[in-house]
Amino acid sequence: MENQIKGLHHITAIAGNAKRNVKFYTDTLGLHLVKKTVNFDDPNTYHLYYGDKTGAPGTILTFFPWEGISAGRRGARQATEIGYSISQGSLDFWLKRMDDHNIIHNKVAEKFGEQYLTVLDPDGLKLELTVAKNADNRLPWETTEIKADNAIKGFHNITITTNKIEPTARILTEVLGYKLLEQHVNRYRFVTDTVENANIVDLVEVAGEIAGHVAGGSVHHVAFRVSDEKTLMEYREKIAALGLHITDKIDRNYFYSLYFREPGGVLFEIATDNPGFAVDEPVDELGTHLMLPPQYESRRADIEQQLPQLF
């Protein structure tokens, strides 16, 4: 199974105010700020990574926070919902916490036999805290207010809204190795058995839905996980053979990756497990330093002056 897709690696979204983003994800949701770095293409903007203690694949939500960016709009040709896994019995804790922090949320609902709570982050990004049917034994990051029995464990699923599921479903099944598990009305659940968690993609088919607009509060891209660079390049050949444009291998410091746009319009990435987030700072210090890509190190003083304060 080493040469297969192993579920979700990370999901990247767009935010507005960086300080507000950090407060919500670290304080309110209790995630670990794993890495504080900058956008490779815009070094005066942060790239923030949240996850578990080590930033394990399948737990990593990342943000490009652009101050003053307009609000996005959910719609077709987009990843529209990010599902997180929480423990059995923790929904009451999260309902109270959302009320106490004045966070917009819905009532607890159910799909595919799993209860979930829908929450909007400060930019309107749609999150779902889901009590999974299958036990999730991942060790979550704890805070003084959120202990392991309630803490978020990592991703449960990603939802993609599309006008027609077949082209995207074909990429999931024929290229990425997912299988259709079940369907309810217009929601189709695809899973891979190569990993136990962060292994679900839901496709929601809405024929008449207009295309969404990717901006503040939107998912920018969805990254799938492979073990190493050899496997990564095998997937490059496979995807290029379908006639889809796919990038060359890109070094993102903490993983190597490829990008391609699937036929339904969502930007997909394939990313490696190696080298991981401890490559430039110790595990116990992850997220405490501003880590710059080598090409920007000579500009550190200027970049630090331009970046907004996070705390």
What strand order describes the sheet that includes 255-261? 32-39, 42-51, 60-65, 8-15, 219-226, 267-275, 255-261, 250-251
Model pLDDT, residue 135: 87
Residue 3 lies in a domain: no
Model pLDDT, residue 3: 77
Residue 2 lies in a domain: no
Residue 229 lies in a domain: yes
Give pLDDT tens digits along the chain (311 positions). Answer: 467 999 999 999 999 999 999 999 999 999 999 999 999 999 999 999 999 999 999 999 999 999 999 999 999 999 999 999 999 999 999 999 999 999 999 999 999 999 999 999 999 999 999 999 988 999 999 999 999 999 999 999 999 999 999 999 999 999 999 999 999 999 999 999 999 999 999 999 999 999 999 999 999 999 999 999 999 999 999 999 999 999 999 999 999 999 999 999 999 999 999 999 999 999 999 999 999 999 999 999 999 999 999 99
Tokens 């767009």 belong to: 14
The domain that holds 253 is classified in CATH as: 3.10.180.10
Residue 251 lies in a domain: yes
Model pLDDT, residue 1: 46
Structure tokens at 193: 């058995």
Residue 26 lies in a domain: yes
What domain range includes position 181?
Answer: 8-306
Rounded to whole angstroms, how far apart are CA atoms 92 and 132?
15
Q: Give the CA-trace dihedral at 285, 290, 291, 295, to 10 degrees.
A: -170
Residue 311 lies in a domain: no
Asked whether the whole model's pTM tops 0.75, one would answer yes
Strand partners, 44: none
Give the chain's domain count.
1
Residue 250 lies in a domain: yes
Task: Locate the DSSP E strands across the chain.
Answer: 8-15, 32-39, 42-51, 60-65, 78-86, 109-111, 114-120, 126-131, 154-162, 179-184, 187-191, 200-205, 219-226, 250-251, 255-261, 267-275
Structure tokens at 139: 């060790």
Contact between residue 12 and residue 221 where contact means Cβ atoms under 8 Å apart: yes
Model pLDDT, residue 23: 98
Residue 172 lies in a domain: yes
